[in-house]
Amino acid sequence: MGVTGTGQEAVDRSQELRQFEESKIGVKGLVDSGLTSLPPLFVHPPETLSGLRPARPRPDPIPTIDLSGCGPGRRPSAVVEEVGRAARELGFFQVVNHGVPAEAMDRTIAAVRAFHEQPVEAKARIYRRQTETGVSFFSNVDLFVSKAASWRDTLQIRLGPKLADVEEIPEVCRNEVIEWNQQVQRLGGLLMGLLSEGLGLSPGKLQELTCLETRVMVGHYYPYCPQPDLTVGLTSHADPGVITVLLQDQVGGLQVKRGDEWVDVTPVPGALVVNIGDILQILSNDEYKSVDHRVLANPSREPRVSIAVFCNPSDRENQFGPLPELVSSDKPAAFRQFTFSEYMTRFFTKELDGKSLINYFRA
């Protein structure tokens, strides 16, 4: 379980975890109960907390890329170059003029917030870790394997290749989720084309590899935290998939690791955040970078809401590795071949703790 200390401490922690899980109230339920200090299971070890200093004020290094002029069959070379550079240097960028209406973004944020702010009983009906139905509500995907829990709740919905049973999607956000899936599918196709061309490949290459077909949405809710210096909203990790498209509200808290320091991904009105996942770093033969990122615990009375859509290959048994077009005698394959199924199995049996997983697949 990643627990240190005496056997009795491990037993106590195991009991505390089980009680929290069985309550099905999530972190928001704890806040609503009026607690003023963190339960021990949320307190992170000193080595995590020592690195939680806020980012130093500095010009925002996360590039914002204007996609106006892009569309079906239209990928201006200047935009391809900008996207390729951001993917190589930082692995994160924001996009504006992306074609997703501001109203659709606002509706999606409001709907996910409305789900999380329902009475406990309404959410408890779908509190589960099994994903067979394609819809689940839980707190901390790695609750039982992490050293400490993080201060957030999550609504997870399968968007593709087959949308979750529509009746299973909570009514309070059902229409907005279905619309958001359509928006991300369109934008995802555009981004995949830009990223493919940025590697010198044909625009359709990543989509031919089914990289946009499996889509999973997570609607995170980060309520007010009474002791934000003792925990985190989301521990440092790299995303396992191809790309992630993130809609965040204006509260902030997302940080990206650049070299040895953490930098804020400052919310830009109307922007969506895009980041490279491990699979795309591997496919690109280390050209593109999948980087560590985290979310600080929310000290604000205003909850933070973010919606991430992870885009992954649907062909789970196909062999993945560096694309042959990107391997040469000058740049041999940096990773071995593996199936996506093997990759995801490994991802979900470890805690979210950084880059060790991608290194497992190095050649």
Domain-located, residue 282: yes
Q: What is the pLDDT of residues 95-149, one digit of tens each?
A: 999 999 999 999 999 999 999 999 999 999 999 998 889 999 999 988 888 889 9
102: CATH: 2.60.120.330
Q: What is the pLDDT of residue 56?
A: 62
Structural domain contains residue 355: yes
pLDDT band (50, 70, 90) for residue 351: low
Contact 123, 26 (CB under 8 A): yes
Which residues pair with residue 182 across a beta bridge? Answer: none
Whether residue 240 lies inside any domain: the answer is yes
Residue 7 forms part of a structural domain: no
Q: What pLDDT, on a 0 to 100 scale, did the predictor assign at position 318?
A: 83
Please tell me the distance from the alpha carbon of residue 361 to that of residue 363, in angstroms, as a whole number: 6
Domain that holds residue 214: 15-52+75-360
Tell me if 160 sits within 8 A of 215, measured CB to CB: yes
Task: Assess if residue 2 is contained within a domain.
Answer: no
Whether 201 has a pLDDT exceeding 90, the answer reads yes
Q: How many domains does the chain have?
A: 1
| Stated pTM of the model | 0.93
Determine the average pLDDT of the residues in 324-332.
Answer: 96
Residue 256 is assigned to a structural domain of this protein? yes
Asked whether residue 3 carries a pLDDT value surpassing 60, the answer given is no
In a domain, 324, yes or no: yes
Examine residue 63 and state whether it is found in any structural domain, yes or no: no
Q: Would you say 241 and 310 are in contact if contact means Cβ atoms under 8 Å apart?
A: yes
* Peptide bond before residue 161 is cis, with ω within 30 degrees of 0: yes
pLDDT tens readout for residues 273-315: 999 999 999 999 999 999 999 999 999 999 999 999 999 999 8
